Chain A
Amino acid sequence: MSPDQGQSGASFEETPRIIVMDDEESIRLGCEKVLTREGFEVVVAADGSSGWEMLQEDEFDLALIDLKMPGIDGMNILKLMGENLPDVVAIVITGYASYETAVETVKLGAYDYIPKPFTPDELRNVVRRGLERRFLRLSNRRLREERERFLLDLTEERSRLMTILRAMSDAVLVANRRGELVLANPAGLEWINDGEDPDPSDVPEISGSVTHEEIAGLVERIENDPDLEGCDAEIETEDDRYFHAAATAVRDDEGGYLGVVIVLRDISERREIEKMKSAFVRMVSHELRSPLAAVQGYLELLVGGDVDGEDADRMLRRCNSRVEALQQMINDLLDLSRIESGTVQRELRPCDLGEILDEIVQLQRGAGIERGIEISLDVRGECHVVADAREVEEVFTNLISNAVKYNRDGGKVEVVAERHDDKVSISVSDTGIGMKEEAVENIFEEFFRVRNSETASVTGTGLGLAIVKRLVDSYDGDIQVESVPGEGSTFTVTLPARPE
């Protein structure tokens, strides 16, 4: 008979292993013979000590233990088994069966006992019952272990999930089919209960319902439309922040509605950039439109033919000059965008500022002479920097030509370059109209121009200083302005000197 379908009625994955401990050889041989024939694997021991060793070294399903043995006796084996091998079924063999012995052995964990002498059938029966017990113990243990394993997995899974949710800066809210909140991460808690209850240890055991009007609207849309898998909305909060809210339906295998997951992402920064971009586009379009409007107007007059020759010449010259200014503005805008996007192809070389400034001053003198403006240059010490020479020229051409343009007739422009330790500072001072404090604050903004009766005749794109500032910044430099209305302005650029 195979042990799988054996009399035991229980099924073992492997052949049941039985140990017989008895100092009587005839009992050992008899048991071995009967039980082996049953299909079990049988091991025998002649005394308690070797029996106990065998029990520890190998795995057994059942032990037949004689109470009276040399070495460790049966009672002590039972004790040791109770402490160390509680799942191995112990059956006591005794020649002195008495009520007291029975009670004592059972107390020590024996499952059953069999009095000597016993018949093969008695042995088979007691072993069969013992193995059934063993099978039950094993399956209980397996179930217990599985349940523990499962609970552990479940706890770990849940805690992993919560760790991920907590780490998210996006807010996550989960509502069940009745619209009640069942889960929220800390970012999500800000959206419920009016932002109160921020104790993250409450997660995920939160209560409440989706009350935020716009989020509730999303949930409602999903609840009412069985085909709708998801929908989204943009939410503007009272403190001027923008959120993108996305709701996704959770459905069971048959498509039944279980609830909804809402994810809220802060998009305020993106919005801010978009706003700045459109403000810039608005400004650019205005700046382009003014000269265009003038040119368009002149051309309409000229095409109308109702203008005398002298006026017509002047109008054409004005058109020409406005178109040139437009061209300049477009170049400046492209420069600005190249600098900002960092796509300028630079050639960094040691530059002698003394030489560069000298060239610029020579070129600008021509513009100054007409209005009696003197330009002086003073270079003190070795003023060398590492930079793209074209960019350095652009910076100082801008500053010096501004100093001429916004000067009074007969005024002065002083350019001083000085070496201070590891820095070079270059100041450009004029004796011009100067600026109010409000203008000084905004002077490096795109399209900012000081507009008053004194500057009305000065042409410019309003981008020159914005470009100067960005270029100087890109070399880890600094630019400062001091200005007194009616007296003049001084722009001071500081650049890192070329290392010796």
Chain B
Amino acid sequence: MARILMVDDDADFLEVQSRVLDRGGHEVATAHNGSEALDLLGKDSNFDLVILDLMMDQSDEGFTLAHRVRSLLGDGASIMILTGVRRAHDLGFDLDSPAGRKWIDADDFVEKPISADDLLERVRRLVE
């Protein structure tokens, strides 16, 4: 169905969600942090969707990562921010405001935790 790259520093969460996506019939690659993800995309940018956690570091890695991922991805690809972090707020970004969302350059914002069905439904909407 779709090729998806999932980036999250929580290994458990990464395992769970990649299995969910796998069972949903998607092809899933994983990365535990931003540099792993960029390395991977540098070699192979043929993904339909990249799912990013925002706070893989205390720095603004998550934010800049979204932009760098965008520049590496092909035209039709989407970015989903999947994060438990309202802390974007503390870095000066309000995810609840349209302006804050625009800054991050993502196609969807999802908050942890998320159920398997919900994740698959949101992915379906983005890749169709």
Give A residues with C-beta under 8 Å from B: 279, 282-283, 285-286, 289-290, 292-294, 296-298, 300-301, 304, 306, 318, 322, 438-439, 442, 448-453, 456
Nearest-Cβ distance from residue B72 to partner chain A, whole angstroms: 20
Nearest-Cβ distance from residue B96 to partner chain A, whole angstroms: 12
A296-B113, A300-B16, A300-B116 known, 15 other contacts, Cβ within 8 Å: A279-B89, A282-B86, A286-B84, A289-B84, A289-B112, A290-B13, A294-B10, A294-B13, A298-B16, A301-B19, A301-B116, A318-B12, A442-B58, A452-B57, A456-B32
* A453 close to B33 (CB less than 8 A): yes
Nearest-Cβ distance from residue A211 to partner chain B, whole angstroms: 32
Kindly state whether residue B1 has any CB partner on chain A within 8 Å: no
Nearest-Cβ distance from residue B86 to partner chain A, whole angstroms: 5
Kindly state whether residue B105 has any CB partner on chain A within 8 Å: no
Specify which chain B residues have a CB less than 8 angstroms from the CB of A456 in the assembled complex: 9, 11, 32-33
24 contacts between A and B (CB under 8 A): A279-B89, A286-B84, A286-B85, A286-B86, A289-B113, A290-B112, A292-B113, A293-B84, A293-B113, A296-B113, A297-B16, A297-B20, A298-B12, A300-B116, A301-B16, A306-B23, A442-B58, A448-B58, A450-B58, A451-B9, A451-B57, A452-B57, A453-B33, A456-B9
Kindly state whether residue B56 has any CB partner on chain A within 8 Å: yes
Specify which chain A residues have a CB less than 8 angstroms from the CB of B35 in the assembled complex: 453
Residue of A nearest to B11 (CB): A456
Nearest-Cβ distance from residue B17 to partner chain A, whole angstroms: 6
B1-54: which have CB < 8 Å to A? Answer: 9-13, 16-17, 19-20, 23, 32-33, 35-36
* B86 close to A451 (CB less than 8 A): no
Specify which chain A residues have a CB less than 8 angstroms from the CB of B11 in the assembled complex: 456
Residue of A nearest to B114 (CB): A293
Chain B, interface residues (CB within 8 Å), range: 20 to 34
Kindly state whether residue B97 has any CB partner on chain A within 8 Å: no
Kindly state whether residue B124 has any CB partner on chain A within 8 Å: no
Nearest-Cβ distance from residue A52 to partner chain B, whole angstroms: 93
Specify which chain B residues have a CB less than 8 angstroms from the CB of A301 in the assembled complex: 16, 19-20, 116
Specify which chain A residues have a CB less than 8 angstroms from the CB of B115 in the assembled complex: 296, 300
Q: Which 9 A-B pairs have the closest CB atoms?
A: A297-B16, A293-B113, A294-B12, A293-B112, A289-B84, A282-B86, A294-B13, A286-B84, A296-B113
